[in-house]
């Protein structure tokens, strides 16, 4: 990460590039798992380690969700304790959203077309209050 940050170009007006570390926090799986949702979540200890590494480098942490059969809103709520941090954001991968009878890797999710129309944004939005770091 340090090499990538050092190699980032400077913006013309003197502003630096703000680095982002992306962690796939909800990972789609080929097997349904115990809950049948074809996804697994990273443990808090993994997210904590990534956040500490990002902060050490003055970077943002982006939590990525590949939902499988889970709903985006439910996955986002599972990370709410992290999303209230001012340097943590959320990325949604709608191509990994699958429905009943579908399996990851065999069926593509709704893709960006659905998300771009705004329906994904309405279903996925999670109201959280950011708290400043002291």
Residue 90 included in any domain: yes
Residue 71 included in any domain: yes
Per-residue pLDDT of 5-41, as tens digits, reads 677 666 556 666 778 999 999 999 999 999 999 999 9
Answer yes or no: is pLDDT of 100 > 80. Answer: yes
Q: How far apart are CA 130 and CA 95, in angstroms?
A: 28
The pLDDT of residue 5 is: 67
Residue 49 included in any domain: yes
Model's pTM, two decimal places?
0.74
* Greater pLDDT, 30 or 124: 30
Residue 118 banded pLDDT, cuts 50, 70, 90: very low
Other CB atoms within a 10 A radius of the CB of residue 83 amount to 17
Work out how many domains the chain is built from and give that number.
1
Domain that holds residue 32: 19-112
């Amino acid at each position: 990460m340090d090499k990538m940050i050092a190699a980032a170009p400077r913006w013309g007006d003197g502003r630096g590039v703000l680095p982002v570390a992306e962690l796939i926090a909800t990972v789609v799986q080929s097997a349904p798992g115990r809950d049948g949702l074809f996804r697994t979540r990273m443990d808090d200890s993994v997210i904590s380690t990534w956040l500490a590494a990002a902060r050490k480098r003055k970077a943002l942490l982006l939590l990525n969700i590949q939902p499988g059969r889970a709903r985006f809103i439910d996955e986002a709520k599972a990370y709410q304790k992290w999303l209230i941090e001012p340097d943590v954001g959320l990325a949604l991968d709608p191509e990994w959203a699958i429905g009943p009878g579908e399996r990851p890797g065999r069926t593509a999710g709704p893709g960006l077309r659905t998300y771009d129309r705004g329906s994904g944004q309405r279903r996925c939005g999670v109201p959280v209050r950011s708290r400043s770091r002291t």
